[in-house]
Amino acid sequence: MIHVISYDISDNRRRTKVAELLIREGYERSQFSVFIGRRHPQWKSKLWPKLQTIVQPGVEDGDRLFVLRLPAESLKKRETVGTFTADVDWLLGQRHTLLITGAKNAD
C-alpha cells in the first residue's frame, strides 16, 4: 500500500514539523507539500496520531492534511509532466535499499 500525503498548512513551524516527521518516517517529498511512501507499519498507532497533534484544522486559515491510500501497482500507471523524483522501484518493494542522491561530501 502506498500513501500520498498532501497538506496545506499556513504556519511555517507546523508545516516544517509535518515535513520533518514524514521524512523521518521514510516518506519522500514529491512536491513542496506532497509526500509519497510505503504505508508506515505503525500508521494508525504512531504516525497518524502525531500528525493529528501537529495539524490544526480549527485555526484561522484551517490546516488541511489529505492522505490517499493506493495499491502499490498503481504507481506503474502514473503519468507525469516534469520529473517524478520518488524512487518507484523502492516504493514497489522491488529494491530494498533507498538510494539518496545529491548529498554533499563533508570533506
27 pLDDT above the threshold of 70? yes
pLDDT tens by residue, 48-91: 999 999 998 877 778 999 999 999 888 778 787 887 777 777 77
Report the distance separating Cα 8 and Cα 32, nearest Å.
10
Residue among 79, 102, 106 nearest 28 (CA): 102
47 vs 99: which has the higher pLDDT? 47
Kindly state the average pLDDT of the residues 24-40: 88
